[in-house]
Chain A
Amino acid sequence: MKKVYGLVAALSTIVAALVASSACFFFFYQPEEPASLRNE
């Protein structure tokens, strides 16, 4: 199970980094961005 969790964590981190470079999440919602991803 740890391997699956590790995989999900890695994928989520990559997506988080990709989303961080854009002005908006996907459609009409923008959750609070984690401090480490902030590039105002």
Chain B
Amino acid sequence: MEMLVKKLASKISLSLGYDAEKNAVIAYGLLAIVQTSITIILTFLFGLLVHAPIEALIVCFAVSLYRKYSGGAHAYSANFCTVISVMYCTLAALLSRLLMQTYSHGVMLITIPLVYITVFWISYRYVPVDSPNKPITSEAKIRRMRRGSYIIISAYMALQLVFLILDSHSAEFQSYAISLLFGVSWQAFTLTPVGGILLDKLNSLPKF
């Protein structure tokens, strides 16, 4: 994916007479567009395969929005990132559908506060988790990232409450509520040192 994007960016820059820095910016933006689009489309298609496309997209957007402000452990390539993202979203969507069979409003009333208290604590403790390719060192940016994370988690909590209120009207909302929990808890997990170790282990698998 990256090779193709770099080739296309070089072609564009050559045609428009851009310098190396402008070429790097175009390649960066283009990779964001291509990778985001492919991940969303594949997540939707694999979600359709397990009869849970909305749940798969809920997990996908819950992770990615929170991740924009929190950062987290990283994969070694865009392709590998897409593979593990689609796999996790599909698996979480399928599990949400399966857990719907044993859904209990009472259990959710206990689980939701426990999950969000833990997520808030992890955010307070670790956000932002930067990467060598994009270090975050300025105090102002760290504060902005933390504030953004808290806002996103609060928005998820509000959405979780909406799902909780609507779960008695339609069983679909039970599954949506579970998938949102899977999304937010997975992203919080990737912020922790244990999550970092897991991603490192996955990164050491044979490359493709």
Which residues of chain A have a CB within 8 Å of any CB of chain B? 1-2, 5-6, 8-9, 11-17, 19, 22-37, 39-40
Please name all residues of chain B whose beta carbon is closer than 8 Å to the beta carbon of A22 when the two chains form the complex: 68-69
State the main secondary structure of chain B at its contact with A: helix
Q: Output the residue of B28, B72, B85, B190 with the most chain A CB within 10 A.
A: B28
In whole angstroms, how far apart are the Cα atoms of A23 and B72 in the complex? Answer: 8
Cα(A16)–Cα(B12), bound, Å? 16
Sorting the interface of chain B by its residue count into under 10, 10 to 19, 20 to 34 or 35 or more gives: 35 or more
| Contact yes or no, A16 B74, CB < 8 A | no
Chain A-chain B contacts (Cβ-Cβ < 8 Å), number: 136
Q: Which residues of B in the span 79-104 have a Cβ within 8 Å of any Cβ on A?
A: 80-82, 84-85
Binds A, one of B32-40, B105-113, B167-175: B32-40
The answer to whether B26 touches A23, judged by C-beta atoms less than 8 angstroms apart, is no
Contact in complex: A13, B31 (CB < 8 Å):
no
Contact B71 A12, beta carbon cutoff 8 Å:
no
In B125-168, the 8 Å CB interface with A consists of 128-131, 133-138, 141, 145
Q: Which residues of B contact A (CB under 8 A)?
A: 2, 8-9, 11-13, 15-16, 18, 21-22, 24-33, 35-36, 39, 63-64, 67-75, 77-78, 80-82, 84-85, 128-131, 133-138, 141, 145, 190, 199
